[in-house]
Amino acid sequence: MEHWLGGILNASGQQKVAGQGLKAIVAHCREFNVIPIALCDKIDSLRLSRNPFVHLKPFDHPHNLGQRMLTRRAHPDSILESDARDALSAMYSVAVYAKAQV
C-alpha cells in the first residue's frame, strides 16, 4: 500500500512526502482527501498492527500481538487472519484509487 500511495503522490508532484513512510503518506492523504478518510483509518490501523512485527517492541506495547490477544481474548491465529483480510481489502481499495488516477 505504501508503494501504491507513494506512486499516486509522486505522480502528483508530492515526491517529498511520497518517500517519508506510510505514516506520513497516510497523514497527507487524509489532510488532502487523496483517498477516503475511512480508507486512511483502515490503513493506519493496519500500519499500527504491522509495526511490532517489523520493529521490535516491548511485550506491553499496545499494538503487540500479545497485547492484542489479551485485549481481544482471541487466539493469535484469528487476529492475524482478521488482519490479513483487512489488509487485502485495503490493498484492493488502494489499487482501485491508484488506477483511477492513471
Per-residue pLDDT of the chain (102 residues; tens, 9 = 90+): 899 899 889 988 999 999 999 999 999 999 999 999 999 999 999 998 888 777 778 888 888 888 999 999 999 999 999 999 999 999 999 888 877 766
Q: What is the pTM of this model?
A: 0.78
Instruction: Spell 13-29 as b/e; 16+ CB within 10 A means b.
Output: ebeebbeeebeebbebb
**Structure confidence at residue 5 (pLDDT):** 92
Q: What are phi and psi of 60, to 5 degrees?
A: -85, 5
Tell me the domain boundaries of the chain: 2-101
**Structure confidence at residue 18 (pLDDT):** 92
**Structure confidence at residue 13 (pLDDT):** 92
If you count them, how many residues does the chain have?
Answer: 102
C-alpha to C-alpha distance for 35 and 76, rounded to whole angstroms: 31
**Structure confidence at residue 102 (pLDDT):** 60
